Structure 1
Amino acid sequence: MGLERYITTVLNSPKKVSREKVIEVCDFLEGSFPDCSLFQVGKFMLTAAIGDKGPKAVLTFNADTFLETYIDLFARRQHYLSPPPHGHPPYYYVAINDSGGGSGGKIPIYHCHGSVAPLEKVGTRPRDRRDRLVFLEQEYLALASGHSAWAQTVFLYHAQTTRMAFCGLSMSDTNIRRWMSAVEVDTKAYHAAMGNTSRENAEHIWIRPQPADTLSQEIILVSMSHLGIRPAWINGWSELEQSLQNLAAVR
């Protein structure tokens, strides 16, 4: 297989490689992992951005940079398969790893727990922030104890000013639960001050397959409600893209 010679280069620089390699690698990835939910998320994100209905931001706790890489590959392939002229398609998203990064008017993809790109550097410039990776318990504690930590500030800002849709995670992350609990306390205090003491629905949702038994559904509902999150059931991960389109009113 020829692509094994350059797949790392394509994944590291999806905007710079030739159109032939873009199409080949994108087809290979989708054909090799047809059930990967990340492809559904990436396709939704591009379609929503093109229709001016993209998210305000994307927050990821994954260490890999594959989401933004696939979005760029998918955008270029769709562009090349459409009628000419062909140049480069618009790029709607940009990865941000720390407080020094700017979005430049694009939709930011925040890597809250650091990131690892296929190649660490291009020349002398780093392409990721593997020095900010959070895996070990002491790393979680260090992040949680930093009251002005960048990841905490970014997460809390979006949790307090937007409606968040969680997907592809177990919701057992210690920091996420602590941050969401703090946001819910503040939200309840606000609604109480406004005289709205009968708030029925939480502001944020967790998209996940619906458990088969009622007891599991009730347990998940109760375990999320105090965090200001309610489950949004889907029948399976194959419905993820459609569910995101429904949320954003994307057709």
Structure 2
Amino acid sequence: MIDDIMSSIFESGIRGRYSFETFVLNLLKEHIAKQDKPFSTNEKNQKLGDGYAEFGFDRFTGPTIVDIKGKASKLTLISAAFGLSARLERACADIENLSNYIIVFGSRVSLEQRKLFDIQLAAKKVSVNKNVNVILWGLDDLDKLATKHKKKTKEIVDNIFSLRLEDAINKSTTDWISERDDLLLKLKSLYKDGQFSLFLGAGVSSSANMPNWEDLLNSLYVKYINNEFSDEGLIDESKISILADWLSSVNDTSTLMVARYLRKALLNGSSEDALFTDQITESLYSNIGDKANDGSPLLTSIVAMCLPKRRGAKVKSIVTYNFDDLLERQLEKSKIDYKCIFSEGVINSPDELPVYHVHGFLPKEKDSFDSIDRSTLVFSEEGYHYIYTNAYHWTNLVQLNSLRDSSCLMIGLSMTDPNLRRLLDISARSTETIKHYAFLRRLTANRILDKNHEEGRVVIEEEVISGLLKRHHTLSEELMKDLGVKVVWYEDHKDLPGILDSIVD
């Protein structure tokens, strides 16, 4: 029975790992409840294991911790043995008379693997409290429970994600700042190890007063109207922005579709893509002028992460989805050697920090860069479809390599880009651990209440909004976990530079 279950829920990678954990915990919850004994998954002992049976169950008498792993392999067995001493020490300090520590694997555990585990315990000189029984469980042990509770087992399998979400909501606390502090300590450790890459989105450039996507499109609408009607004297200049807003509203569909519309409209039959890129570049830098060199506190903090330390560089690469050259200007100011890569075949030297512009590159002074016309601009649907459908396009390979070889920190990204999510999904299939992190802005009840007041809407009770937001944030975290990404929350954009600085300090 367990083989059929595993084939249906245990996909490769992280998603399967979490589904397996949900399955085991809910099956144990049912099994132990039938014995009129408690089983919890959201107490303080969660950090020591995944489940806790205060009075044990079956033949396991006394306090029992359940720790769920992925599939049994030489690596996972060695890892489990390596960390066991410290976990047991903490567990025995927190739980009086701890009796059993059950390690559950998502595959069968052979006699040879059990021997390997014991050998590793001895090799690592793990001091296991003699009063604590360490037990390895595999699929054969779970099969006995699944067979005993067939009806409940089917119910669990049929509702695996909703149960996972319910468990996560029950576990989630209001002290998200403390949870973030734990994540920042982990990020600090990863940063020191030097296996670190940055993924940068529009939020980074907009922090330096560059136009966001919507403002950029509106600016192109204005150019389109100017091109079409201003020379004919048919329209007053003061009304151009009104017409641009109107056109924006009637084309309120996918932003990529709007970009495609504008591209065709601005080219007006011409096949010269250079004309369109020049117009985008002009709109991109129109509001900042010479202030492009000033950057922003967020850009300053990002550049500080890239400064080589005594033991070498800590950031291996930067993948940016922005067209502008603000980052490059800041890297130059800080005298950091870098290589701007915006087309296939460009290679950085070992001493240069590679900066990959995977959606194209539109520097303010394009004459400063060779072969800038070879950059693939992913602005409208055409460019996006070309990248999306070409699995071996250099930009896809660059992103996949970074996701595979580094711990990636994502800043200024909404994490809604379908191609990025697709690449994250591919990357997540090859590992059962989360190693990527994304900074996302947390919604607050006050922001929603204030917006309702401004728009004259009926105000919903704060406690109702808070309950909904708790579910929203937890669901967002669980969906990102499926992609191999841990969410690092913050509430105000101005807090982000300080948070990044804490990783470097």
TM-score range relative to shorter protein: 0.5 to 0.7
Asked if 1 retains the 8 angstrom alpha-carbon contact of 2:301 and 2:500, the reply is no
Asked if 1 retains the 8 angstrom alpha-carbon contact of 2:317 and 2:355, the reply is yes
**Are positions 1:207 and 2:452 aligned together?**
no
**Equivalent of 2:298 in 15, 37, 53:** 37
Distance 2:424 2:381 in 1: 19
What secondary structure is seen at the aligned counterpart in 2 of 1:63? coil
Count of residue pairs brought into register by the alignment: 190
Distance 1:185 1:115 in 2: 31
Distance 1:179 1:43 in 2: 28
Larger Rg: 2
Asked if 1 retains the 8 angstrom alpha-carbon contact of 2:343 and 2:375, the reply is no
In the superposition, the TM-score normalised over structure 1's length comes to 0.67
**Equivalent of 2:364 in 110, 114, 118:** 118
Instruction: Give the CA deviation at 1:27.
Output: 10
**Equivalent of 2:492 in 233, 236, 243:** 236
Cα gap change, 1:27 to 1:130, in 2 (>3 Å): closer
1:166 counterpart letter in structure 2: M
2:443 counterpart letter in structure 1: P
Distance 2:397 2:485 in 1: 19
Distance 1:109 1:146 in 2: 21
**Equivalent of 1:54 in 314, 334, 341:** 314
1:4-43 counterparts in 2 under 5 A?
Answer: 29=294, 37-43=298-304
Instruction: Give the CA deviation at 1:114.
Output: 1.2
> Unaligned 5+ residue runs, structure 2?
1-289, 445-468
What secondary structure is seen at the aligned counterpart in 1 of 2:407? coil
Asked if 1 retains the 8 angstrom alpha-carbon contact of 2:305 and 2:315, the reply is no
Distance 2:364 2:376 in 1: 16
- Per the alignment, residue 150 of structure 1 pairs with 394
- Residue identity over aligned pairs, in percent, reads 22
- Per the alignment, residue 420 of structure 2 pairs with 176
2:353 counterpart letter in structure 1: I
**Are positions 1:128 and 2:384 aligned together?**
no
1:94 counterpart letter in structure 2: K
Distance 1:60 1:146 in 2: 19
Instruction: Give the CA deviation at 1:145.
Output: 1.5
Distance 2:400 2:293 in 1: 38
**Equivalent of 2:409 in 165, 168, 173:** 165
Asked if 2 retains the 8 angstrom alpha-carbon contact of 1:115 and 1:130, the reply is no
1:1-55 Cα distance to aligned partner (Å, 9 max, x none): xxxxxxxxxxxxxxxxxxxxxxxx679735xxx6x63333233333xx2453431
Cα gap change, 1:66 to 1:127, in 2 (>3 Å): farther
Cα gap change, 1:147 to 1:209, in 2 (>3 Å): closer
- The root-mean-square deviation of aligned C-alpha atoms, in Å, is 2.5
In the superposition, the TM-score normalised over structure 2's length comes to 0.35
Instruction: Give the CA deviation at 1:183.
Output: 0.8
**Are positions 1:93 and 2:93 aligned together?**
no
Distance 1:219 1:132 in 2: 35
**Are positions 1:225 and 2:486 aligned together?**
no
> Unaligned 5+ residue runs, structure 1?
1-24, 76-89, 189-198
**Are positions 1:102 and 2:334 aligned together?**
no
Cα gap change, 1:160 to 1:27, in 2 (>3 Å): closer
Asked if 2 retains the 8 angstrom alpha-carbon contact of 1:42 and 1:71, the reply is yes
